[in-house]
Chain A
Amino acid sequence: MRLSFRLKTILGVALIEAVLLLLLVLGNGDFLRRSFDEELNKRAEATLRLFVASSQDAVIATDLATLESAVSGLMRTPGMVYVRVYGHGELLSQGGVRGDGPFIRDYHIDEVEDGVFDTAAEITVDDFHFGRVEMGLEVDAIAGMLDRAQRHNIVLAASEILLVALFSAILGGYLTRQLRSLTEASHAIAEGRIDTLIPVRGRDELAETARAFNRMSAQLQATYGELQQAATFFENTAEAIMITDADNVIVGVNPAFCRITGYDEREVLGRDPGMLSSGRHDEAFYRHMKESLEHEGRWQGEIWNRRKDGEIYAEWLSIVAIKDDAGELAQYMSLFSDITKRKQDEERIWRQANYDTLTGLPNRTLFMDRLDQSLHRAHRERCRFALMFIDLDRFKWVNDTLGHGAGDGLLQEASARLRDSVRESDTVARLGGDEFTVILPKIRRDQDAELIAEKILDQLQQPFLLEGREVFISGSVGITLYPDDAGDIETLVRNADAAMYRAKEAGRNAFRFYTQSMNDSAQRRMQLEAELRKAISAQRLDIYYQPIIDLVTGATVGAEALLRWNHLELGRISPDEFIPLAEELGLIAELEAWVLRQACREAAEWPGAPFISVNLSGVQLREGAYPAFVEQVLHESGLEASRLKLEITERLMIDGGDAVIEQFRRLREMGVSIAIDDFGTGYSSLSYLRRFPVNVLKIDRSFVSDLSDAEADGVTLVNTMIAMAQSLNMAVVAEGIEEAAQAELLQRLGAGMGQGFLYSPAVDAKAFLDFLGDGARV
Chain B
Amino acid sequence: MKRLLILALSLFVTLNVKATESLSVGIVPQQSAAKLARLWSPLLRELEQRSGVKLQFHTAPDIPTFERRLAEGEYDLAYMNPYHYTVFSREPGYRAFAHEREKRIKGIVVVAKDSPIQSLEELAGAELAFPAPAAFAASMLPRASLERMGIAISPRYVGSHDSVYLAVARGLYPAGGGVVRTFNNIDAAVREKLRILWTTPGYTPHAFAAHPRVDGQVMGRVRDALVSLGDDEKGRALLGALRFKPIGAAADANWDDVRELDLHLLDALISE
Contact = CB atoms under 8 A, between A and B. Distances in A.
Contact of B32 (A57, A105, A126): A57
Interface in A712-755: none
B34 A125 contact: yes
Contacts of A65: 61
B7 interface: yes
Nearest to A89: B14
Interface of A is mostly: mixed
A88 B58 contact: yes
B37 A58 contact: no
Nearest to A57: B33
Given A88-B58, A128-B45, A128-B57, A60 B37 contact: yes
Contacts of A130: 37, 57
Given A89-B14, A128-B41, A128-B45, A62 B7 contact: no
A109 to B, nearest CB: 13
B24 to A, nearest CB: 8
Nearest to B56: A88
B38 interface: yes
B38 A126 contact: yes
A137 B144 CA distance: 55
A63 interface: yes
Contacts of A101: 7
Nearest to A60: B33
A56 interface: yes
Interface string A92-131: 0000000001010110000000000000000001101010
Interface string A120-152: 000001101010000000000000000000000
Contacts of A128: 37-38, 41-42, 45, 57
B59 interface: yes
A60 B14 contact: no
Nearest to A108: B3
Interface residues of A, number: 19
B119 interface: no
A352 interface: no
B60 interface: yes
Contact of B34 (A60, A62, A103): A60
Contacts of B65: 61, 63
A373 interface: no
A549 to B, nearest CB: 173
A125 B41 contact: yes
A105 B45 contact: no
A616 to B, nearest CB: 169
Interface string B121-163: 0000000000000000000000000000000000000000000
Interface string B31-47: 01110111001100100
A159 interface: no
B10 A57 contact: no
Interface of B is mostly: helix
A56 B45 contact: no
Given A57-B33, A60-B34, A126-B38, A106 B60 contact: no
Nearest to A61: B33
Given A89-B14, A105-B3, A125 B37 contact: yes
Interface string A54-97: 00111011110110000000000000000000001100000000
A60 B39 CA distance: 13
B6 interface: yes
Contact of B41 (A66, A89, A106, A126): A126
Contacts of A126: 38, 41-42
Interface size class of B (residues with CB under 8 A): 20 to 34
Contacts of B6: 105
B60 A62 contact: yes
B107 interface: no
Contacts of B7: 101, 103, 105-106
A57 B61 contact: yes
Interface string B1-29: 00100110010001000000000100001
Interface in B157-215: none
Nearest to A128: B41
Count chain A CB atoms within 10 A of each CB in B32, B34, B59, B65 and give the residue with the most.
B34
Nearest to A56: B34
A130 B38 CA distance: 11
Interface in B203-241: none
A58 B61 contact: yes
Nearest to B17: A89
A106 B7 CA distance: 8
Contacts of A125: 34, 37-38, 41
A60 B59 contact: yes
Contacts of A105: 3, 6-7, 10
Interface string B53-73: 000111111000100000000
B154 to A, nearest CB: 28
B59 A61 contact: yes
Contacts of B60: 61-63
Contacts of B42: 126, 128
B61 A106 contact: no
B264 to A, nearest CB: 27
Nearest to B15: A89
A105 B10 CA distance: 10
Interface string A37-64: 0000000000000000000111011110
Contacts of A103: 7
A89 B57 CA distance: 12
B41 A62 contact: no
Contacts of B36: 60
Contacts of B59: 60-62
A691 to B, nearest CB: 161
A86 to B, nearest CB: 11
B61 A63 contact: yes
Contacts of B56: 88
Contacts of A106: 3, 7
Nearest to B2: A106
Nearest to A59: B33
Contacts of A66: 61
A56 B37 CA distance: 11
Nearest to B61: A63
Contacts of B10: 105
A88 B55 CA distance: 11
Count chain A CB atoms within 10 A of each CB in B10, B14, B33, B42 and give the residue with the most.
B33
Contacts of A62: 58-61
A125 B37 CA distance: 7
A56 B42 CA distance: 18
A61 B57 CA distance: 9
B38 A61 contact: no
A57 B61 CA distance: 8
Nearest to A101: B7
A89 B24 CA distance: 12
A103 B5 CA distance: 13
B221 to A, nearest CB: 21
23 contacts: A57-B34, A58-B61, A60-B33, A60-B37, A60-B59, A61-B33, A61-B60, A61-B61, A62-B58, A62-B59, A62-B60, A62-B61, A63-B61, A63-B65, A88-B56, A89-B14, A105-B3, A106-B7, A126-B41, A126-B42, A128-B37, A128-B38, A128-B57
Given A61-B61, A105-B7, 20 more contacts: A56-B34, A58-B33, A60-B34, A60-B36, A60-B37, A60-B59, A61-B33, A62-B58, A62-B60, A63-B33, A63-B65, A66-B61, A88-B56, A103-B7, A105-B6, A105-B10, A106-B7, A128-B37, A128-B38, A128-B42
**What 8 pairs across the A-B complex have the smallest Cβ distances?**
A63-B61, A61-B33, A128-B41, A60-B33, A57-B33, A125-B37, A61-B61, A106-B3
